[in-house]
Amino acid sequence: MNTMMRWFGVAVIVFIAAPLVIVVPMSFSTASSLQFPPPGYWLGYYADYFSDPSWLRPTWNSLFIATCVTLLTMALVVPATFALVRHKFWGKGIANLMMMMPMAVPHIVMAVGYYSVLGQWRLVHTHLGVILAHTCLSVPITFLVLSANLKGFDQTLERAARSLGASPIQTFIHVTLPILRPGLFISALFAFIQSFDETVVAIFISGRDAETLPRKMFDSIRQEADPVIAVISSLLFLVVLIALVAPHVARTVRRVIADRRVTPTISAE
Amino acid sequence: MSSYLRLSGINKTYGDFVALDNVNLDVAKGEFVTFLGPSGSGKTTTLMIIAGFEQATRGSVEIEGVSLSGLDPQDRNIGIVFQNYALFPHKTAADNVYFPLQMRGVKRAEGLKKAQAMLELVGLEGFAHRYPKELSGGQQQRVALARALVFEPDLLLLDEPLGALDKNLREQMQIEIKRIQRKLGVTTIFVTHDQTEAMSMSDRIVVFSKGNIEQSGPPLDIYHRPTTRFVADFIGESNLIPGHIANAAEGVVESPVLGTCRYLTNGQPSVSNGDEVAVVIRPEHMKLSRNPIEGRSNARMTIDTIVNYGDNALVIGHAGEQPIRVRVLGADVVILHEGDECCFSWTDDAVFLVTS
Amino acid sequence: MNRLISRVSEQKTLWPWLLLLPLTAYLIVFFAIPLGQVALMSVTEPHVGLENYEKVLTGSLYRKVFINTFMTAGLVTVCCLLVGYPLAYLMAHTSDRRAMLILLLITMSFWTSFLVRTYAWMVLLGNNGPIIWLFTAVGIADPPHLLFTRFSSTLAMVHILAPYMIMNIYSVMKKIDPALIRSAESMGARGFSLFRHVYLPLTAPGIANGSVLVFVICLGFYVTPVLLGSPREQMAAGLIGHQIEEFLAFGLASAMAIVLLTITLAVLAVYHRRFGLDRLWG
């Protein structure tokens, strides 16, 4: 039973890992279509990606749009989250539901709506249109991450600051904000990724001018399966890997440094 | 007694719920006052009203005759040590202590010097650059104390600060807090539900129950001369035995359990003949013996259980329907057996009356 | 104490709505209005009336697509469960270090854009891909056609959605007190009966969470079925997109979108009544 389970587990791990691993060798392949094992290796498609404006422009569009979405989402969600976590008031349940709704509606449904409404407002195929739509879709996940952080925040700390002579604004600047900084950063990251990865709405509303990277990839996969996609996939994969491993590395480095620091160990008790 | 801090007629209601009902209190400068009571008795609410985190529905808080009402917490100059210490996790011990000085516009170099001195006073030299999570519970406690004292507050409030510490550390911190408080002479209000803590630290204990002050006085007075049934029951162990006054002038009470029982008339609540009262005798003021002891009042009981604590033992028995608790020396316990009938005895000066 | 604080803040009712105001206004304009527009178009394009719904609900093509969507979502959910539950169990019962590594892999998969993952499956299952290559290496002369079938899109969706299932179940399993299992064992439960009567009920919330998430996401899935699936076996989202891109049939697409939305919300509502929605993503 146990060994069978273990082999099953290994099989599942291979199933999950294989697609992640396969794109990396493909990105160095000399083949012009999907072929495995690759007939040879080179860096030509990397060079293509970094020199082809039809790939670089969507990349910049995506980065620009995701950055704007992050800023706008945070500006809207941070005050709302404070209200919802810290206060009890009439209509709180409805407000909570409202924050979560964009997550419950399939993106294709929103895509139909945005295509029509933004068209009427002459915002379809513009950066602004994509930013406005994406911000809406980023609200739920950002709210979830931030509210989890805010719920864990000990409000006694704010009382302590007040008793020590800090005004409400000073308390926010010197105590609340620094302690919540990691939570704010993570929720902003979620907003960024939500926008950067969003495909369906972008397919319908971004058009040529505001074309995002996922839209370009989608079109490319559907039409010709350009090998550059393997390059972008590998690069995106690398970014995720770095983002996940970096905190571990940073912690290890910090620990090594901390160990070298000679600390007095006289106990006060 | 000159009054430094004065609470007058404080009421606090939440809708229909009365949290505080006409609380009046005077505290002298430099005094160490403990608010003692079970949870929900209003002691913490009172503290929060003094600190300015809660607004009283009625009544006023004054320090040296100046009303605090209308002042925000940050303008009251009151130091608070919270139950969970509430140290800022993103600041070192020194920066935590520097924080109130920073808020008062003190330059960093000068402020850190002061913070350093305060950390030394609480016995934490060499820990200035540690973050709260790198400190033990007792050390965090000391940082919180230093932080609440460094700006020379008019008042120090301690909200059950020792609750999270283990027993040995708690006793150590009791002594420490007392030492520091004496040294700085800061007027202090200490909130706790632990009576031994209240006994060992306070100049005066204020007992709270159901939003009221039940009794206020020096620890030994509270212990030996409880004036209400609640205080007698809550502080220490008590035998509360029903009876009625036979002769108020000479100090005689009749009780079905104790028989005719004499008491010293001074220091007792005012009673008149025929009043129903409860007779209070502390377990450690009773003695157990096989036969009645000459010169003491005696009554008989049956032993149910003996709980041994080593240096002493608690003997729980009953006289009729009335449970009786007697504390005896550890050495004496060997002659007692569960199920035995024996005599318990007391002297007149151990008897106190409380009206129900 | 907390009870008191919350009672105090309850009295100041204006302040929280002031903080909520910008977001509320934003969501009304950029969420409620577009959604309302979809509902409006479904009964006005091209003519006022219910003809779009009539087509969607009675036309054999549309019914086939919706049934197919439902079946696929169900199949993907079951597959995710079959793949995810044992793996979550292994993670919860192996050394911390190994569990961390598996978790790292799963988070990595989770965070990798699903376009990238869809593309990867195209590579894996393609006619010149490694799996076909394996088939020929083993000596099977006429390997089956894998890409652009129901099989390929289902497989890729299972791969893309399995992390949701695994993380939900794992987090529940991790919280089970081992003493509970030991005490059940001490009372004579072992093997399958221990699993059936103790472990499975304890992990049920994780299963419910994961399943609802996977099912709901799958119902509205667009990208993967469109890129990897068979054009003859479309799913609802794909058909909606198709109606707009090819025919500009906004009314019909809107009616389908509203039906899809209704089904999705119905699933979530059932879950909400049973468990409470706030737990789903928490």
Report the distance separating Cα A175 and Cα A169, nearest Å. 10
pLDDT of B116 higher than 50: yes
Those residues with Cβ within 8 angstroms of residue B178's Cβ, 6 or more apart along the chain or in another chain: B32, B200, B201
Work out the angle at residue B133's Cα, subtended by the Cα atoms of residues B128 and B135, and round it to the nearest 5 degrees. 50
Please report, for residues B169, B172, B356, the alpha-carbon distance to residue B82 in angstroms, rounded to integers and kept in the order given.
17, 18, 36
The 3-state DSSP composition of chain B as helix, strand, coil percent (nearest 5) reads 30, 35, 35
pLDDT of A74 higher than 90: yes
Do residues C1 and C118 both lie within one domain? no
Do residues C95 and C153 both lie within one domain? yes
Do residues B21 and B154 both lie within one domain? yes
> Residue range C127-137: average pLDDT?
83
Contact B100 A165 (CB under 8 A): yes
> Residue range C38-66: average pLDDT?
91
Dig out the tokens for C55 from the structure.
């087509």
Instruction: Kindly report, residue by residue over B276-293, the tens digit of the pLDDT.
Output: 888 889 888 888 888 888
- Residue B239's CB is within 10 A of a number of other CB atoms, namely 23
Do residues C144 and C36 both lie within one domain? no
Amino acid identity for residue B7 in this structure: L
pLDDT of A180 higher than 60: yes
pLDDT band at residue C277, thresholds of 50, 70 and 90? low
Helix axes C250-274, C200-219, angle to 10 degrees: 170
Domain enclosing residue B317, as ranges? 237-354
Residues 38-67, chain C, touching A (beta carbon < 8 A): 38, 41
In the prediction, which pLDDT does A87 show? 86
Partners of residue B147 in chain A, C-beta under 8 Å: 164
> Residue range A71-91: average pLDDT?
92
Domain enclosing residue C15, as ranges? 1-44
Do residues B242 and B211 both lie within one domain? no
pLDDT of A267 higher than 60: no
> Residue range A23-52: average pLDDT?
84
Do residues C9 and C138 both lie within one domain? no
pLDDT band at residue A262, thresholds of 50, 70 and 90? very low
In the prediction, which pLDDT does C1 show? 39
Do residues B248 and B131 both lie within one domain? no
pLDDT band at residue B356, thresholds of 50, 70 and 90? low
pLDDT of A67 higher than 90: yes
Do residues C118 and C148 both lie within one domain? yes
Instruction: Kindly report, residue by residue over C230-242, the tens digit of the pLDDT.
Output: 888 889 999 999 9
Contact A221 C227 (CB under 8 A): yes
Report the distance separating Cα B170 and Cα B174, nearest Å. 6
CA B207 to chain centre: 7
In the prediction, which pLDDT does C12 show? 54
> Residue range B140-166: average pLDDT?
91
Do residues C151 and C200 both lie within one domain? yes
Contact call for residues B201 and B190 (beta carbons, < 8 A):
yes
Interface test with C, best of B53, B57, B80, B82 (most C CBs within 10 A): B53
In the prediction, which pLDDT does C8 show? 45
Residues of A with CB under 8 A from a CB of B: 154, 156-157, 159-167, 170, 174-175, 178-179, 263-264, 266-269
Beta bridge partners of B288: B344
Tell me the CATH number at B262: 2.40.50.100
Contact call for residues B342 and B282 (beta carbons, < 8 A):
no
Instruction: Kindly report, residue by residue over C161-203, the tens digit of the pLDDT.
Output: 999 999 999 999 999 888 888 888 888 777 788 888 888 899 9
Q: How many residues are present in chain B? A: 356
pLDDT band at residue B208, thresholds of 50, 70 and 90? very high
Do residues B161 and B26 both lie within one domain? yes
Contact B54 C1 (CB under 8 A): no
Do residues B215 and B310 both lie within one domain? no
User: What total of structural domains would you count in chain B?
Assistant: 2
Do residues C31 and C56 both lie within one domain? no
Instruction: Kindly report, residue by residue over A221-246, the tens digit of the pLDDT.
Output: 888 777 888 899 899 889 888 888 88
Report the distance separating Cα C25 and Cα C61, nearest Å. 40
pLDDT band at residue B308, thresholds of 50, 70 and 90? confident
Do residues C104 and C139 both lie within one domain? yes
Q: Which of B168, B202, B224 is the last residue of a domain?
A: B224
Instruction: Establish if B182 belongs to a structural domain.
Output: yes
> Residue range A46-60: average pLDDT?
93
**What SS3 class is residue B210?**
coil
Residues of B with CB under 8 A from a CB of A: 51-53, 72-80, 82-84, 86-90, 99-100, 102-104, 123-124, 126-127, 130, 136, 138-139, 142, 147-148, 151, 169, 172
> Residue range C26-34: average pLDDT?
96
Of residues A265 and B334, more confidently modeled = B334
Instruction: Kindly report, residue by residue over A118-155, the tens digit of the pLDDT.
Output: 999 999 999 999 999 999 999 999 999 999 999 999 99
Work out the angle at residue A182's Cα, subtended by the Cα atoms of residues A180 and A187, and round it to the nearest 5 degrees. 95
Amino acid identity for residue A40 in this structure: G
Domains of chain A: 53-224 (1.10.3720.10)
Instruction: Kindly report, residue by residue over B253-278, the tens digit of the pLDDT.
Output: 888 888 888 888 877 878 888 888 88
